[in-house]
C-alpha cells in the first residue's frame, strides 16, 4: 500500500470518529422553572437539591429572592430534583428555620425539557424542632467556653456547631445560641459522648470568603475530640475563629 493511500485511510477514520462524538450542551438545553410562593411571599428562596442529598444542608442552587408578588425563576438541566421554599425573618439565605419563618413541604420535581410552572405554599412555622441550646432540657451535661478572634478578643454573634464525626461535613447535631459581647457560649447536650466543635458567624453551607470560622483543636491538623461524660459540664472549651480568605 503506497503512502498516499495510507494517508487517505487515516483521514477517513478520523472523520468517522469525529461524527460519532455527542454535541456539547448549551444554555438552550436548560429547563426554565418559574412560579410563585404564596401568600404571596416576598423575599423567599427556592432551594434545589438532588436526590440523596442532605435536604437541610447546602443546595445545588438557590433562586434569587422572590419579588413582591412572590415570583421566582431559575433554569436547571433536565433531571429529578427536590425543591423547597424557605424565608427566614432575619433575611438570611442559610440557617435554621425557626418559629415564625416560612417553609414549604419538599416538592418532587421532574424536568424533562418542557418549562415548569410551580405554585408553592410556604406557611409560617409553628414551634421550633431544631435542637438549639435553649431548646434542650437544662441539665449538667454540656459545654461552655469563649469564642475569640486571632487577637484574643471575644467575638459577638458566633455560634458553636457540635458534630459527632471528625469530618464535620454533615449537618451539625446541635447548635448554640449566638454569643454576646463577651463571646461566651453555653450549650447543653442530651447525653455524654465524643464530639467535635466548630465556631462560625454564619449558619449553613461551607464557610465563605469573609466569614469567621474556627475549629476546636489542640494544635493538631485534625479537629480535637471533646469527650463529655453524662452529668458533666465541661468549662473553658474555647475556640479561636479567623476570617476565611
pLDDT, one tens digit per residue, over 92-142 is: 887 778 878 999 999 999 999 889 999 999 998 875 544 455 444 555 789
What is the CATH superfamily name and number for domain 133-243? Carboxypeptidase-like, regulatory domain (2.60.40.1120)
Report the distance separating Cα 95 and Cα 56, nearest Å. 9
- Whole-prediction pTM value? 0.51
CA torsion 178-183-186-187 (nearest 10°) is 50
- 5-32, pLDDT tens digit by residue? 455 454 444 444 444 433 444 556 799 9
Q: What percent of the chain has pLDDT over 70?
A: 82
The ranges assigned to domains in the chain are: 27-121, 133-243
On whether the 27-121 domain is CATH 3.60.20.10, my answer is: no
| End-to-end CA gap in the chain | 63
- The whole-number pLDDT of residue 196 equals 94
Report the distance separating Cα 215 and Cα 207, nearest Å. 12
Which residues lie across from 46 on neighbouring strands? 85
Neighbours of 50 (CB within 10 A): 11
Nearest to 80 by CA among 52, 44, 50: 50
- The whole-number pLDDT of residue 28 equals 63
Can you say how many angstroms the Cα of residue 237 is from the centroid of all Cα atoms in its chain?
25
Report the alpha-carbon angle 74-77-81, nearest 5: 80
Nearest to 236 by CA among 132, 143, 164, 138: 143
Beta strands in 41-78 (DSSP E): 45-50, 61-62, 71-76
Amino acid at each position: 500500500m503506497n503512502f498516499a493511500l495510507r494517508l487517505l485511510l487515516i483521514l477517513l477514520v478520523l472523520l468517522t470518529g469525529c461524527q460519532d462524538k455527542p454535541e456539547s450542551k448549551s444554555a438552550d438545553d436548560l429547563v426554565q422553572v418559574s412560579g410563585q410562593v404564596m401568600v404571596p411571599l416576598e423575599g423567599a428562596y427556592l432551594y434545589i437539591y438532588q436526590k440523596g442529598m442532605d435536604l437541610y444542608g447546602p443546595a445545588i442552587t438557590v433562586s434569587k429572592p422572590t419579588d413582591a408578588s412572590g415570583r421566582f425563576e431559575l433554569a436547571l438541566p433536565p433531571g429529578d430534583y427536590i425543591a423547597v421554599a424557605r424565608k427566614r425573618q432575619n433575611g438570611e439565605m442559610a440557617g435554621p428555620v425557626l418559629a415564625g419563618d416560612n417553609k414549604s413541604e419538599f416538592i418532587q420535581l421532574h424536568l424533562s425539557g418542557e418549562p415548569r410552572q410551580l405554585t408553592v405554599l410556604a406557611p409560617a412555622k409553628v414551634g421550633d424542632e431544631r435542637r438549639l441550646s435553649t431548646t434542650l432540657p437544662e441539665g449538667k451535661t454540656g459545654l461552655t467556653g469563649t469564642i475569640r478572634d486571632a487577637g484574643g478578643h471575644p467575638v459577638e454573634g458566633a455560634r458553636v456547631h457540635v458534630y459527632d464525626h471528625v469530618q464535620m461535613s454533615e449537618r451539625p447535631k446541635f447548635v448554640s445560641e449566638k454569643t454576646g459581647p463577651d463571646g461566651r457560649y453555653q450549650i447543653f447536650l442530651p447525653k455524654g459522648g465524643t464530639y467535635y466543635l466548630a465556631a462560625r458567624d454564619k449558619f449553613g453551607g461551607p464557610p465563605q470568603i469573609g466569614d469567621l470560622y474556627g475549629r476546636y483543636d489542640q494544635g493538631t491538623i485534625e479537629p480535637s475530640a471533646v469527650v463529655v461524660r453524662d452529668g458533666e459540664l465541661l468549662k473553658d472549651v474555647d475556640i479561636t475563629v479567623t476570617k476565611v480568605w
